[in-house]
């Protein structure tokens, strides 16, 4: 695709990056077949190809409007289009650049602006969020149905976190919303890794990975969160005390793995960011598969692979293999490449599309009549749990439970 960048962006890093990405797009439209927003809305401007065209026009200096912003807002940033594209177009980076550009030129309406500011202020503060979800649980019977579905009724107790005792140590990210919604996930990961000779530790003062504010289009604040997290982790990394940084939420993992790129133009942080990104692994990448005991569990389970795992990190089949080795029967899931509609704060800001995608996803997950659904990201978990007929859990909790049953008869 040919493009003539406008003067205001021609000699900037974003301009050069966007131009290189755009030149790869041949406008074939293959990506529309796997785009969830296009499948729901049927408008080409709600497809990757249509959005690429809108971003191209904005980069060339054409006027942008609230309509341009709406089509970009409706994108789930699921990156299914990247997996499908035969030309290797890095749509995710392009849409970040396009959104930043449009956001700077199109002021949002009062309610939209307020809702976004509120989400960006509350969700990244883990302690505040924990207090608010605690209050939400108390008031749950009085909440409207849409909000009720977002607040888990009962928190599973986290259980024991084994004291660090192994020479091998890995760092886990507590994250921002996960401790308030499911503190049991990281504790389960710590117990499973402990069995295999790895101690999992968390760094004090480590907060949000930055994805939340970055994808709400507060890109500068998102980068500030990334720098703060690097600062919290750096002493442990610099002293070589941890061999990897483990992500139990694939959404955070997809972002932290891109730190090197996202902070490439920050001379004070780019080297640290690249080192952190290189150390980062999804939990499924560090479980020693060959050491997992086999046939210790039974039952039918459907795995929902989050977009941030399968498209963002390009990890496919690893979780399913662990669960199958443990003895679970993995049910077939139609259209497993499609987003469930969670997508960070998308389910709150675009509830109609998110709700439709969730209904479709739950129907597909339910076709094999599973007894439970497993997933790998807290956002997908809470979103699906809001309407699922069977329990939805993080896969490491399912595995942890199976391992505990095997040991204690
Ligand atoms: S992004 Fe890829 S698949 Fe989509 S229109 Fe461009 S080249 Fe084709
Ligand atoms: S990221 Fe997902 S929703 Fe956005 S254009 Fe690509 S496939 Fe469609």
Q: How high is the pLDDT of residue 109?
A: 92
CB atoms within 10 A of CB 288: 11
| Cα distance between residue 378 and residue 126, in whole Å | 14
Q: Does the pLDDT value for residue 136 go beyond 80? A: yes
Ligand 2 centre from 77 Cα, in Å?
5
pLDDT of residue 138: 85
The confidence score (pLDDT) of residue 140 equals: 82
Pocket of ligand 2 (CB under 6 A): 35-37, 48, 51, 75-81, 91
- Check whether 217 has a pLDDT greater than 70: yes
Rounded to the nearest integer, the mean pLDDT of the chain is 95
Ligand 1 centroid from CA 281, angstroms: 29
Say what the pTM is.
Answer: 0.95
Query: How does DSSP classify residue 312?
Result: I
What 3-state class would DSSP assign to 96? Answer: helix
- Write the DSSP symbol of residue 69: H
pLDDT of residue 80: 98
Cβ atoms of 233 and 269 closer than 8 Å: no
pLDDT value of position 377: 98
User: pLDDT tens across 89-129, in order?
Assistant: 999 999 999 999 999 999 999 999 999 999 999 998 988 98
Grouping H, G, I as helix, E, B as strand and the rest as coil, residue 245 is: strand
Alpha carbon of 82 to ligand 2 centroid (Å): 8
Does 142 score more than 80 pLDDT? no
Closest atom of ligand 1 to CA, residue 30: 3
CA distances from 87 to 24, 25, 71, 177 (A): 6, 6, 23, 36
For the residues of 128-176, what is the DSSP string, one character each?
A: HHHHHHHHHHHTGGGS-HHHHTTS-SSPPP----PPP-SSEEEEE---S
Residue 167: how many other CB atoms lie within 10 Å? 9
Query: Relative to the CA of 28, which ligand 1 atom is closest?
Result: 8
pLDDT at 405 over 70: yes
Residue with tokens 């890995």: 170
């Amino acid at each position: 695709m040919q493009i003539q960048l406008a003067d205001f962006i021609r000699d900037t890093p974003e301009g050069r990056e966007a131009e290189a990405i755009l030149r790869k797009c041949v406008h074939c439209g293959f990506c529309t077949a796997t785009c969830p927003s296009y499948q729901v809305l049927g408008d080409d401007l709600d497809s990757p190809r249509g959005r690429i065209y809108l971003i191209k026009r904005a980069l060339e200096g054409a006027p942008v409007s609230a309509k341009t912003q709406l089509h970009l807002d409706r994108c789930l940033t699921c990156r299914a289009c990247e997996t499908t594209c035969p030309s290797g177009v890095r749509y995710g980076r392009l849409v970040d650049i396009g959104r930043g550009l449009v956001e700077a030129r199109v002021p949002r309406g009062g309610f939209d602006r307020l809702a976004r500011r509120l989400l960006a202020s509350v969700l990244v503060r883990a302690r505040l969020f924990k207090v608010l979800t605690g209050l939400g649980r108390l008031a749950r019977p009085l909440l409207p149905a849409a909000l009720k579905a977002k607040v888990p009724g009962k928190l599973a107790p986290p259980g024991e976190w084994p004291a660090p005792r192994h020479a091998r140590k890995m760092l886990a990210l507590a994250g921002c919303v996960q401790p308030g919604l499911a503190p049991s996930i990281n504790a389960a990961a710590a117990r499973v890794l402990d069995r295999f000779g790895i101690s999992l530790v968390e760094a004090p003062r480590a907060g949000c990975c930055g994805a939340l504010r970055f994808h709400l289009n507060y890109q500068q604040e998102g980068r500030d969160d990334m720098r703060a997290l690097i600062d919290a982790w750096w002493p442990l990394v610099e002293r070589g005390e941890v061999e990897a940084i483990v992500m139990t939420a694939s959404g955070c993992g997809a972002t932290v793995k891109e730190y090197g790129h996202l902070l490439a133009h920050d001379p004070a942080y780019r080297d640290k960011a690249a080192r952190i990104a290189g150390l980062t692994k999804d939990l499924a990448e560090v479980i020693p598969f060959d050491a997992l005991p086999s046939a210790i569990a039974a039952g039918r389970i459907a795995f929902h692979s989050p977009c941030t795992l399968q498209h963002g990190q390009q990890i496919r089949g690893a979780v399913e293999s662990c669960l199958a080795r443990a003895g679970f029967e993995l049910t077939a899931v139609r259209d497993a490449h499609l987003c469930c509609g969670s997508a960070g704060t998308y389910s709150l800001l675009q509830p109609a599309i998110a709700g439709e995608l969730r209904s479709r996803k739950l129907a597909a997950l339910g076709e094999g009549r599973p007894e439970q659904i497993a997933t790998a990201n807290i956002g997908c978990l809470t979103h699906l749990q809001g309407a699922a007929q069977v329990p939805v859990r993080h896969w490491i909790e399912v595995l942890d439970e199976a391992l505990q049953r095997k040991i204690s008869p």
